[in-house]
Structure 1
Amino acid sequence: MTNTTGAGIFIEPERGRSYDMGRIAAIFKADGEETANQCSVSEWWIEPNTKGFGAHSHEAEIELFYVLEGTMSFLVGQRWRDAKKGTVILIPPGVQHDFENRSNQRTGVLNVYIGGPFEMKMPKIVEWFAEHPTEDAI
């Protein structure tokens, strides 16, 4: 259940707005009006042996990732690193980054996108993945 009355929001596990991208799924917990357009909070779940979006950067926004489950591989700048459960990754504005699941187990990360909303981009991202299905990571 989501409670947006009073002085905050409360979102129970497995609640939120879901987006299916084949072997990648996103669940948005808070975005837009819920955060006064300051940030976006979402979970990203990736099936085994699955590539992510591809290397990209954000001009002004900061991204923070927290590995919820498994081991996720992250590209930060020019270097790939494996991040196990409990790892925090902070991506400054303008830094190239990507993530993928190179393991044989499902992985998940919590993403905090700081500097504005993100969920409004999801319909185009879902459409892109429908036209370009995810590839194997290894």
Structure 2
Amino acid sequence: MSDARHRPIILQPGEGRAYAMGAMRAVFKADEAETAATYSISEWFLEPHSKGPGPHSHSDHDDIFYVIEGTMSLLVGDEWIDAGVGSFVRAAAGVTHDFANRTDKRAGVLNIYIPGGFERDMAGIVEWFENQPKA
């Protein structure tokens, strides 16, 4: 078990590589270095009444969302779904998706991104959010 992808990953709640993006926060639990880029796993939390990243798609990656807190509104294709704790949603490669919190309480999803490498984009994503006009 000498390479990183064979070592256990043990993180307590809130631990991981965190990225703040205004009303949205991501915490990466496992990514390219630990998984040989086969997947990445992250938590995404949105404060009440806040938007997510905006509608987008990935041509060669599946996005899997599992709601872990509150109710998250998820766009898959052209349909918005209000998903409560325990809900599972897969946006296959090429399918437009987004998420938002339309409620009065914080909401969160566990995201599994297959194959991995999503964290490579996080610096640019954080910078993009920092440069957006404040509401």
Mark yes or no: TM-score above 0.5.
Answer: yes
Percent identity for Structure 1 against Structure 2: 50
Task: Please report the RMSD computed on the Cα atoms of aligned residues, expressed in angstroms.
Answer: 1.6
TM-score, L = length of structure 1: 0.90
Contact kept? 2:31, 2:119, Cα under 8 Å: yes
TM, length-normalised to structure 2: 0.92
Aligned residues between the structures: 132
**SS of match in other structure, 2:124:** helix
- Find the counterpart in structure 2 of residue 111 from structure 1: 111
> Using the alignment, how far apart are the partners of 1:128 and 1:6 within structure 2?
34
- Runs of 4+ in structure 1 off by over 4 angstroms are 4-7
Identify unmatched segments of 5+ residues in structure 1.
none
Structure 1 counterpart SS, 2:51: coil
What per-residue deviation string (whole Å, max 9, x for no partner) do you get for residues 25-47 of structure 1? 00000101101111110000100
Query: Structure 2 unaligned runs (5+)?
Result: none
Deviations 1:106-138 (A, max 9, x none): 001100001121111111000000111576xxx
Contact 1:26/1:44 (<8 A) preserved? yes
> 1:37, 1:117 within 8 Å by CA — same for their partners in 2?
yes
Are residues 1:62 and 2:70 paired? Answer: no
Indicate conservation of the 8 Å contact 1:70/1:84, yes or no: yes
Q: Does 1:72 align with 2:72?
A: yes
